[in-house]
Amino acid sequence: HIFPICALNTINFVLKLHYWVFFLTTLLIFQAEIDVAVQLLLKLKTDYKHLTGQDYKAGCPPPENVVNQDNGAATDGIDEEDNVDPWNVSTSNAKGVDYDKLIVRFGSSKIETELVDRIEKVTGQKPHRFLRRGIFFSHRDMHQVLDAYEKNKSFYLYTGRGPSSEAMHVGHLIPFIFTKWLQDVFDIPLVIQLTDDEKYLWKDLAIEECHRFAVENAKDIIACGFDVNKTFIFSDFDYMGSSPEFYRNVVKIQKHVTYNQVKGIFGFTDSDCIGKISFPAIQAAPSFSNSFPQIFGGRKDVQCLIPCAIDQDPYFRMTRDVAPRIGYPKPALLHSSFFPALQGAQTKMSASDANSSIFLTDTPKQIKNKINKHAFSGGKDTIEEHRKFGGNPDVDVSFMYLTFFLDDDEQLEKIKQDYSSGALLTGELKKILIETLQPMIAQHQERRKQVTEETVKQFMTPRPLNFKL
Ligand code: TRP
């Protein structure tokens, strides 16, 4: 009877084997399904992070103002002819960047006539030509600022400049001329950030050079006529190290913005130095009033309004996104269009090309020669053709410059009509521009000469300012 037992054992073994094979196969198939599911979940989480810039938390909806990849990154495919970010501005259109499309792309609001009228009503002053002519064309939350101002809740101004060289051109003055007007009509304090650290990180310059440029540029800024009792100008290299409150805000911002977010907003890549990646927090910090305890006495709720060129908006989209998460009000913004290069509105002027713009140090003769030689003309090739068909002011740089600097609306309108009809020749148009810019630059140079080292020191010393909130 040994045999049957062996046979039974064998059968038992085979049955057990079948059972295990079946069990293990099922387990393996099941495991594969779990793997697929885990992969899928992981992908969903990384997609979520990619889109929102934040880690996924179960049961937590994404924040309202999600800063995502197509919020202003250089290549979003909506309008390929325009490229606008803090370091590059270019377009293939001779009339310049399409600002209406930019408003849609950046998600800001257009400055409508209604808003300009409201500013006039609230301040009791004729709106600045930059507002009348749509040179400041876009905003964020300006109505809220005015609502509060009407209820006696004041605000402060913040603007800045990256000091990349000693030479400033007329285009650089646009935000400062406008900010000076805002300071006057609203009677409010102003902080001006000179990002010498930004220029050190982005350009091939030494720290000492960048800091020196900051002080030199401060003189041109002061020459715009700011009130020393209401204005604080600071170099990042100086102020960051001396103000614990400022640095605390920088770090707070750094903690609440991910690498994904800045990558999406600014287009940083893996080979950008970490200084660039964290810099946006430094440009964001002055938007919060407690970064300046000497001015606001530690208050963190004073509303900030930032006049700037539209290419700076990415910094402030990021700022507005973090503000409520760290318990601060979002800064409001007023955006300007770009000042065109002499060669045409396709590009912003470059401080490194002497012929691309009128510099604040140019002599009357240089101004005349540059305009006559380099200002792109919308006129016709011959006088006969010009008289017959007229010129095109929309692409004519001399005419564009006049819209920035000639204050008389009626005179400007007449020039436009006459140029379009052919009654006014290109040479005559250029002459009007030359005669507008020469005294303007000469006066600037005169005011800059009055700015002593002592004055600069006064403006750049952290101190209380004179105002009521
Ligand atoms: N990044 C700006 C530039 O390169 C300088 C800047 C700093 C600025 N803070 C600002 C400009 C606030 C406008 C508003 O010119």
Question: What is the share, in percent, of the chain residues with pLDDT greater than 70?
Answer: 88
The model's pLDDT over 113-154, given as tens digits with 9 standing for 90+, comes to 999 999 999 999 999 999 999 999 999 999 999 999 999 999
**Cα 4 to ligand 1 centre (Å):** 94
The model's pLDDT over 58-102, given as tens digits with 9 standing for 90+, comes to 555 554 444 433 344 444 444 457 888 887 777 878 777 899 999
Structure tokens at 42: 């992981």
Q: Rounded to whole angstroms, what are the CA distances from 97 to 90, 163, 176, 345, 357?
A: 7, 25, 22, 8, 18
Atom of ligand 1 nearest to the CA of 175: 13
**Cα 243 to ligand 1 centre (Å):** 19
Residue 55 clears pLDDT 70, i.e. is over it: no
Closest CA to ligand 1's atom 7? 160
Structure tokens at 33: 């399904």
* pLDDT band at residue 9 under the 50/70/90 scheme: confident
Ligand 1 pocket: which of 203, 266, 311, 315 to mutate (most atoms within 8 A of CB): 315
Ligand 1 pocket: which of 85, 159, 205 to mutate (most atoms within 8 A of CB): 159
448-452 mean pLDDT = 97
**Cα 236 to ligand 1 centre (Å):** 11
**Cα 194 to ligand 1 centre (Å):** 7
Atom of ligand 1 nearest to the CA of 315: 1
Ligand 1 pocket: which of 193, 287, 333, 350 to mutate (most atoms within 8 A of CB): 193
Determine the pLDDT at residue 20. 80
* pTM (whole model) above 0.85: no
Closest CA to 238 of 276, 282, 202: 282
The model's pLDDT over 326-385, given as tens digits with 9 standing for 90+, comes to 999 999 999 999 999 999 987 656 666 788 999 999 999 999 999 999 999 999 999 999
Task: Establish whether residue 198 lines the binding site of ligand 1, counting it when its CB lies within 6 angstroms of any ligand atom.
Answer: yes
Determine the pLDDT at residue 96. 79
Determine the pLDDT at residue 469. 79
Question: What is the share, in percent, of the chain residues with pLDDT greater than 90?
Answer: 75
Structure tokens at 451: 């700015």
Determine the pLDDT at residue 42. 64
Task: Establish whether residue 160 lines the binding site of ligand 1, counting it when its CB lies within 6 angstroms of any ligand atom.
Answer: yes
